[in-house]
Every structure is written in structure tokens, then in C-alpha cells.
Structure 1
Amino acid sequence: MCCSLLPLLVALSPALLLLLQRPDVADGHWEDYKYGRQGAEHHCTWKCVLFTLQWPGGFCQSLNNESLCRIPQNVNNWTIHGLWPLKSKDCCDCWPMFHSDVQELEAELTEHWPSLLKTKSSFQFWREEWRKHGACAACVEGLNSPLRYFQICLKLRHQFDIHRLLDDAGITPSCDRPYKVEEVHGVLAPHLGDKLEIQCVTDDKGQQVWFQVKIGLSRNLTVGCDHHGDAAAGPGPGWYPSPGHPCPPGDPFYYLPIDHEQPLRPCG
């Protein structure tokens, strides 16, 4: 029997092998990892989580490389970058994610959480976000599996309809009209909390371009968690810095339109 299992074990991914070696999984609790671990919330070491939305037109400016960026034809709105617990010690690289975990959400994720890189498929993006951040958030019961993590992210995306809020206030993508932080903050803060962060990147012309919005949420996903003291530490061990920076309060920035054909040059 032992020898007959060897080819199967060799074929398994390193991440899955690590997972199977965990005592709780080896004792027969695999279903907890597939459908959600229970009762772990009191072990959470983080109090704030950042729900981060990115504007595709600004994301492409962050790359400064025309050959890397793509904006799928069905993407014309703010997209999800991630849900990132801050200062978390609850991460586990040994919790794998498979395509079947999110298959029922794939159509929604493809629209609202697409990869904007030619070199990375959308599933690779989702799996990377789960490994780096989702597994850190999984100490909370409502986030304690890949399926639940991505379901919550999609619900938050529908809850925080930034495009509608901005459009209703006359803040629309433009090549010519610059905006200021206080103007945008005044529109978004009543809905996203005072602790939201408006992020820019600097384009190749030296202009500030709107890139992201980071929304601070508490563990129960209510807005307004004061994450700024934790932000320097980053969202968990697998985190890497975003190319964005807070938009300078006194400087104008541009909210560039989306151009599917020329994503890096929407204004010609």
C-alpha cells in the first residue's frame, strides 16, 4: 500500500504536501480546509483589513511599460486589488487554492477582479492574493475558506460602488480635468469612512494619476478602522509594497479614462 501511494504523493504540489503534514489535516480535518476552518477567530492577531480597489487606467500608468498592461473589453469600472489583513501572523503558505474552489464565482471574479497583466492569468492573480492575504484573513469565520474569502470580496465590491458615487458628484474620468484629494475625499468619506486612502502613481510625464482607493475595515468588515499605524508593517508576511503612494493633498491628480486598445496611452 505504501509503495502504491508514492507516485501520487510525488505528483502533489509542495504546498499540498505541506498542508497534508499539518497535524489537524492529518487527523482527518481536510474538510475544514476545503469548506472553512471553524472557531479560530479568537486567534486573529489583526484588527484592521484593507479592502483595495484599483482604477484600470491608473494601474497601467503604474507599470510604465506598454507591453505589460491589458484591460479586458468587459472591464470598464473599478476592480478589486485585494483584501489585506494588517500585521497578521495568521498566514499559512501551506493552504492551497484550486480552480474548483472558486469555479462558481469565476464569471463575477473575471469581471470585478481581473488580472491586468499580460503575464498573469486571472486565476494566478486570485491564487496569489489568497496565498498572501486570504489565508491570513481565514481566522475570521466568514473568511475561512477560499470560496468564502472571494465571496466576501465580491460583496464588498458591490457595497462600495465608487464609480457611481463619483459619477453622481460629477467626478468622471478625463484627460483634461484634474482633481484634488479634498474634493474626492469629500465625496467618498461619507460612504467609505474617514480613514480611506486615495493613492496615486506618477506617470512618465511627471503627473499624478489616480491609481487606488484603500478602505480601512475592522474585523467585522465595518468601515472606519484606523489602519494608518499598522500600514508600515504591511498586510502579513507575504505582502509586498504597492507601487502607489498617497496622492499629495495640495497637488492636482488625473482620473484617466480607460482605453482598451492603448491602456498606457488613454489620452494619446
Structure 2
Amino acid sequence: MCCSVLPPLVALLLLQLAEVTDGHWEDYKYGRQDSEQPGKEHQCTWKCVLFTLQWPGGFCQSLNNQSLCKIPRSVNNWTIHGLWPLKSRGCCDCWPMFHSDVQELEAELTEHWPSLLKTKSSFQFWREEWRKHGACAACVEGFNSPLRYFQTCLKLRHQFDIHRLLDDAGITPSCDRPYKVEEVHSVLAPHLGDQLEIQCVTDDKDQEVWFQVKIGLSRNLTIGCEHHGNAKGDFAAGSNPVSYPSPGHPCRSGIPFYYLPINQQQPLRPCD
């Protein structure tokens, strides 16, 4: 009896699979086309994104459990934390991401977007960022698949070469020389916009340590963003009503902070 039932079931499953994949597999792999159809634009509720870069030398100080921190030997520069739409509504975490989606980008992502946690692989980090933020951004053509989302993030990482800008200005990682937010802002703002946020954490020595930069971008990825409300406040606080809390805080005006060097062997104590 089972043998007589199996062929119709298989046929039904194949028919359903064909309905799902017919004409849509390419859309899934290389981008859904909803954002390109007339009348679909209203579904995209966000107008601004935060492109966030983190400094591995200060990242460990931002963790509640610093022993979880790791810095791969290949990492010696600013890395990507994420690209987060602001005020995005109706997001769905039902769009899965597979390793094959970003396999062609894996080498670049491993260099520029590594996991800095012992408990999380880099792919787990990427998949988490896609589920939380990329799927919300996917209503815009340049982000409308995992592949396109991560390609765009990598392009932004190359565009915003913070390390080079700072190095050219004589602002280099140091265990002894503190910096003030005003001098760093004056170097970065002409390239990253006035709305950039320089974030610090307070380490166990009660010192301010620089660990992150948030760059505000419009939907078309131009620097800055015009939208209703206090843009600077929105960027500082994160998305509202969907918030992306940070362990850090804006580096305070007039208070020196340290731009610690990267030490892969001793990420917790880079200056010991």
C-alpha cells in the first residue's frame, strides 16, 4: 500500500517545489525584485542606515565576559560590525541565509568582517547580522539578497578606510598617548559626515577606550541622512522603535580616550 501512495506524494511535493522555485530561484540568489516593481516602494519604511565599524584593539573591553574575546592573526585593521536600517518596521527573520550565499565573498568577509568571539564562528556572525538587519534592508535593490547585502557592506568598508585617514593625520594606536574626540572627529568628519558617532567603553582601569564608529548613510548610501526628527539623536540612540543597543557610549567631549593597539596574543591586555 505504501508503494502505491508514494508516487502521488512525490509528485505533489515536486509540484509545490516547482511553484516555489520556478522563476524565483534567481531572485533568491541574486535579489528579490519587489523593490523594483511599481507600488512596492511604500513597503520599505526606513530611510537611513548605520554602517558600523569596530576596532579590535578596543573590542574586548566592550564585553561583559572579556575572556570570550579573540582576534584572528589575520586581523590588523578596522572590521565591520554591521549595516543597520533605522526605523525599519515589519521586518521578517524568515529569509534564511546559507553558506553558499556568501561563499564567493568568504575570503574578503573573513578579513574585513570576522567574528571576534570565541563562541561564535564568522559565518554565525554574518548569518545573525543578515537575519537581524540585512533582511530588513532587503526592500532596497542594493541589499535584496544575502549576496548583495554583504557585497555592499564590503564596498563601504573599502570606501571608509578609517585606518588610513587616521594614520595620515598622525593618530595611531598607542598604549601611552590618549586622544580627544574633537581631534579625531575633525579628521574623520570631512570623509564620514558630521553625524558620525565615535564610541568608547570604560575598561576595568576606569579608562575610556575607543572601540567603534557609526556612520549615518541615506538609503542610496550617500553620507548623512535627511529624515523627520532629530537625525543626530536617532543615530546616537539607534533605531526607534527597533533599537540596536550598544555596550558603548559616545566618547565624551574633553575626556581623553585610548586607541589601543591590536594584540592577537593578548587581546584582553594589549599593553601588558
Matches within 5 A, 1:1-268: 1=7, 3-4=9-10, 25=20, 29-40=24-35, 42=41, 43-225=43-225, 227-231=231-235, 232=237, 234=239, 237=242, 240-268=244-272
Deviation for aligned residue 1:236:
7.4
Give the TM-score normalised by the residue count of structure 2: 0.86
Question: For residues 2 and 196 of structure 1, what CA distance do their matches in structure 2 show?
Answer: 60
User: How far apart in 1 are the matches of 2:255 and 2:201?
Assistant: 13
What CA distance in whole angstroms lies between the structure 2 residues aligned with 1:177 and 1:142?
41
Q: Distance in 2 between matches of 1:240 and 1:169?
A: 31
Q: 1:49 to 1:169 in 2, by over 3 A?
A: same
Q: What is the deviation of 1:140?
A: 0.6
Aligned-partner residue type, residue 239 of structure 2: G
- CA, structure 1 residues 166+30, in 2 after alignment: closer, same or farther (shift >3 Å)? same
CA shift digits 1:224-255 (9 cap, x unpaired): 12543434462775x54111110011211000
Distance 2:99 2:77 in 1: 25
The residue type paired with residue 259 of structure 1 is N
Cα distance in 2, alignment partners of residues 240 and 177 from structure 1: 31
What is the CA–CA distance in structure 2 between the aligned matches of 1:236 and 1:115, rounded to whole Å? 27
Deviation at 1:65, TM superposition (A): 3.1
Any conservation in 2 of the 1:64–1:204 contact (CA below 8 Å)?
no
Mapped to 2, the partners of 1:189 and 1:86 lie a distance apart of: 21
Partner Cα distance (1:116, 1:195) in 2: 27
Q: Are 1:198 and 1:213, in contact at CA under 8 Å, matched by a contact in 2?
A: yes
The 10-residue stretch of structure 1 (186-195 or 240-249) with the greater mean CA deviation from structure 2: 240-249
Q: Distance in 1 between matches of 2:11 and 2:154?
A: 39
User: How far has the Cα of 1:50 moved from its partner?
Assistant: 0.3
Matches of 2:222 and 2:244, distance apart in 1:
25
Query: Over alpha carbons, which structure has the higher Rg?
Result: 2
Letter in 2 for 1:244: G
Aligned-partner SS, 1:228: helix
Where 1:128 maps in the other structure, the secondary structure is helix
* CA distance 1:216–1:102, change in 2 (3 Å): same
Could you tell me whether the CA contact under 8 Å between 1:33 and 1:95 is conserved in 2? no
Helix, strand or coil: the match of 1:175?
A: coil
- Once the two structures are superposed, residues 74-110 of structure 1 have per-residue CA deviations (whole angstroms, 9 ceiling, x without a partner) of 0000000000000101521110000000000000000
1:2–1:171 CA distance, 2 compared to 1 (3 A) = farther
- TM-score under structure 1 length normalisation: 0.88
Question: Which deviations, in whole Å up to 9, do the C-alpha atoms of 1:163-198 show, x marking residues without a partner?
Answer: 000000000000110101110000000000010000
Whole-angstrom distance in 2 between the partners of 1:125 and 1:2: 41
**Structure 2 counterpart of 1:166, one-letter code:** L
| Aligned-pair identity (%) | 83
